[in-house]
């Protein structure tokens, strides 16, 4: 099953689509390292098994391993992963999460212990929360 940019909400782009992982990035034109660090680009990961920091740990999960959808705002700031029984449901969950994020329905501020006001202001602007 292959994903394409049209499956996701405006601003989200497929960054990588492999057999065992889908990565979708939000507004890489904004979070490109100039005004905001590239590491702060909102990213959705769809993986079979929980995403691990250990290289190679995610390879060859046993059959029946659930799929997870995780939103990262930067490497150490993420939303709790949503679990799905299969890849198709996880991809649909990722599309739904992307739509909710783009609509301003995800509380990204609550994921931070130390606020980043300029970053939040830009996300508010991009997601229509800057009313």
pLDDT tens digits for range 40-89: 899 999 999 876 544 455 567 888 899 999 999 988 899 999 999 999 99
pLDDT tens digits for range 14-24: 999 988 899 99
Contact (Cβ atoms closer than 8 angstroms) between residue 41 and residue 75 = no
Gap between the Cα atoms of 17 and 108, Å rounded: 25
CA end-to-end span of the chain, whole Å? 39
Q: What is the 3-state secondary structure (H, E, C) of the chain?
A: CCCCHHHCCCCEEEEEECCCEEEEEECCCCCCCCCCCHHHCCEEEEEECCCCCCCCCCCCCCCCCCEEEEEEEECCEECCCEEECCHHHHHHHHHHHHHHHHCCCCCCHHHCCCCCHHHHHHHHHHCCCCC
pLDDT tens digits for range 27-42: 998 888 887 888 889 9
User: Per the structure block, which two tokens stand in for 91?
Assistant: 């991809």
């Amino acid at each position: 099953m292959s994903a394409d940019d049209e499956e996701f909400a405006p601003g989200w782009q497929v960054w990588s689509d492999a057999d065992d992982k889908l990565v979708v990035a939000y507004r890489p034109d904004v979070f490109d390292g100039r005004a905001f660090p590239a590491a702060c680009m909102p990213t959705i990961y769809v993986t079979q098994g929980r995403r691990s920091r250990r290289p190679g740990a995610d390879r060859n999960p046993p059959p029946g391993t659930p799929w997870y959808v995780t939103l990262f705002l930067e490497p150490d700031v993420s939303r709790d992963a949503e679990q799905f029984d299969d890849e198709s449901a996880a991809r649909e969950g990722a599309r739904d999460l992307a739509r909710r994020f783009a609509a301003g329905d995800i509380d990204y501020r609550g994921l931070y212990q130390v606020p980043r006001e300029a970053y939040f202001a830009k996300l508010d602007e991009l997601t229509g929360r800057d009313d």
